[in-house]
């Protein structure tokens, strides 16, 4: 009887996991809004960003994803804004050497005095949703999905266009995040652990939103068990593989390998290891707090014969990265973020239902450096 009940429970979980259909159409719809000119590039602290944040919160609410920031969908983050002028100076006094006085515009660029009490303070928000766990013993542990909502806003015009729409970077990631949240909220029963969803602010300003959340989480930090980050989905060509940054750092990588093997998804090596991507997106603030993390990209093995997906990705980075041409007019295959969302969801579902929380691999650099905090 016990065996029969266990089989029934496992079958229910497996069946439920397959019940959500990750389709291209919702991804397209989210991106068409988030990367539209109306939002003016979603610069952190701007009206366009606030509209985007309210859109994500509304999508969470419609899907049954609960507020994750003390009864609100918004974690307000104080940023101090200072405005430089030609009187701004800084004095540098190296040990045992003469002091150096630097002036703004003459060897020194400043944002003013960030400690001065009469400067302007802006509030920016990270959107936080949560799907509550169903296991009384595990529901107070949290897996975190993250993706940055901001982009670089309005800049100097390029070919007459000043709006950096941020379609790939990172309307694609937010669209995937929303669909994963919808899928997780649809699970019956709910995952054993709780799952948090973060649409972070100010990633483009130095991972500020994720760093603030990792330092000031809306739940006890010791209860954060892992992070799966989504950023800048390279959705030019359909591919048959993924790149899992952090795959050898923790047991999260073992889960990724199992899911990939089960669903015939290839795992490829990072083609640009010199870029050290694992420390350059919103997963890294979690890593620095000792929380195992993954950042997963589509790979470069094109489904269509004769297509050099890797070359196409390199060309995109050279010509469109952080420019106004990362917009809705470029070539996009919406099946790519849909497939990535499904892969990330299946990894997270296994983690959320596992008996043990993720752990760093013995001897791993990040685990040794940060995992004992």
Which residues have C-beta within 8 Å of that of residue 317, sequence separation ≥ 6? Answer: none
CATH 3.40.630.10 fits 21-82+123-370, yes or no: yes
Q: Which of 234, 201, 183 is nearest to 63 (CA)?
A: 183
pLDDT on residue 84: 58
The better pLDDT of the pair 245, 7 is held by 245
The better pLDDT of the pair 211, 272 is held by 211
Residue with tokens 């809306």: 218
pLDDT band at 218 (very low <50, low <70, confident <90, very high): very high
pLDDT by residue (tens digit) across 8-28?
Answer: 333 333 434 546 899 999 999
Q: Hey, which residues does 90 pair with through a beta bridge?
A: 102
pLDDT by residue (tens digit) across 92-137?
Answer: 666 667 776 656 555 443 443 444 444 444 558 999 999 999 999 9
Report how far residue 138's alpha carbon sits from residue 352's, in angstroms, rounded to the nearest whole number.
9
Helices 252-262 and 335-353: angle between axes, nearest 10 degrees:
120
Helical ranges in the chain per DSSP H = 2-19, 24-34, 47-63, 172-185, 208-215, 252-262, 284-288, 309-319, 335-353, 365-370
pLDDT on residue 107: 46
pLDDT by residue (tens digit) across 54-87?
Answer: 999 999 999 999 999 999 999 999 876 555 566 6
Mean pLDDT of 352-369: 97
Flag whether pLDDT at 234 surpasses 60. yes
Report how far residue 276's alpha carbon sits from residue 178's, in angstroms, rounded to the nearest whole number.
27
pLDDT on residue 184: 98
The better pLDDT of the pair 200, 104 is held by 200
Domain borders along the chain are 21-82+123-370, 85-118
Dihedral (Cα; 44, 46, 47, 49), 10-degree rounding: -10
pLDDT by residue (tens digit) across 251-289?
Answer: 999 999 999 999 999 999 998 899 899 999 999 999 999
| Mean pLDDT (the chain, rounded) | 89
pLDDT on residue 82: 56
pLDDT by residue (tens digit) across 299-357?
Answer: 999 999 999 999 999 999 999 999 999 999 999 999 999 999 999 999 999 999 999 99
In Å, how far are 16, 35, 352 from 30, measured between CA atoms?
24, 8, 26
pLDDT on residue 113: 41
73 three-class SS:
coil
pLDDT by residue (tens digit) across 296-315?
Answer: 999 999 999 999 999 999 99
Helical ranges in 133-251 per DSSP H = 172-185, 208-215
pLDDT on residue 20: 84
75 three-class SS:
strand
Tokens of 216: 């000031």
Q: What is the CA radius of gyration of the chain?
A: 22
Q: Which of 275, 270, 269, 294 is nearest to 284 (CA)?
A: 294
pLDDT by residue (tens digit) across 142-175?
Answer: 999 999 999 999 999 999 999 999 999 999 999 9
pLDDT on residue 98: 72
Mean pLDDT of 244-257: 98
Q: Are 317 and 272 in contact (CB under 8 A)?
A: no
């Amino acid at each position: 009887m016990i065996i029969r009940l266990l089989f029934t429970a496992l079958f229910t979980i497996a069946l439920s996991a397959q019940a959500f259909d990750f389709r291209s159409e919702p991804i397209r719809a989210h991106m068409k809004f988030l990367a539209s000119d109306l939002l003016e590039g979603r610069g952190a602290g701007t009206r366009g960003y606030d509209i985007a944040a309210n859109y994500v919160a509304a999508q969470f609410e419609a899907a049954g994803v609960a507020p994750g920031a003390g009864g609100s969908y918004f974690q307000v983050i104080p940023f101090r804004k200072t405005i430089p002028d030609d009187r701004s100076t800084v004095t540098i006094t190296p040990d045992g050497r003469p002091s150096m006085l630097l002036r703004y515009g003459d060897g020194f660029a400043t944002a003013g005095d960030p400690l001065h009490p009469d400067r302007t303070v802006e509030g920016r928000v990270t959107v936080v949703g949560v799907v509550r766990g169903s296991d009384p013993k595990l529901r107070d542990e949290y897996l975190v999905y993250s993706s940055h909502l901001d982009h670089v806003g309005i800049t100097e015009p390029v070919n007459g266009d000043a709006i950096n729409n941020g379609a790939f970077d990172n309307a694609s990631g937010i669209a995937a995040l929303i669909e994963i949240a919808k899928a997780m909220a649809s699970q019956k029963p709910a995952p054993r652990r709780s799952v948090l969803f973060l649409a972070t602010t100010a990633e483009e300003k130095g991972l500020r939103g994720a760093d603030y959340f990792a330092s000031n989480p809306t739940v006890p930090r010791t209860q954060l068990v892992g992070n799966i980050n989504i950023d800048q989905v390279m959705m030019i060509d359909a591919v048959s593989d993924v790149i899992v940054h952090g795959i050898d750092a923790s047991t999260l990588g073992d889960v990724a390998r199992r899911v990939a093997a089960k669903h015939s998804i290839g795992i490829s090596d990072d083609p640009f290891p010199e870029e050290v991507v694992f420390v350059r997106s919103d997963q890294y603030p979690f890593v620095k707090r000792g929380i195992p993390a993954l950042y997963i990209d589509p790979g470069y093995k094109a489904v269509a014969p004769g297509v050099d997906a890797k070359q196409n990705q390199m060309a995109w980075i050279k010509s469109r990265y952080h420019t106004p041409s990362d917009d809705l007019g470029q070539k996009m295959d919406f099946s790519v973020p849909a497939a990535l969302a499904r892969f990330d969801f299946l990894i997270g579902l296994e983690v959320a239902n596992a008996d043990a929380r993720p752990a760093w691999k013995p001897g791993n650099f990040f685990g040794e450096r940060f995992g004992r905090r």
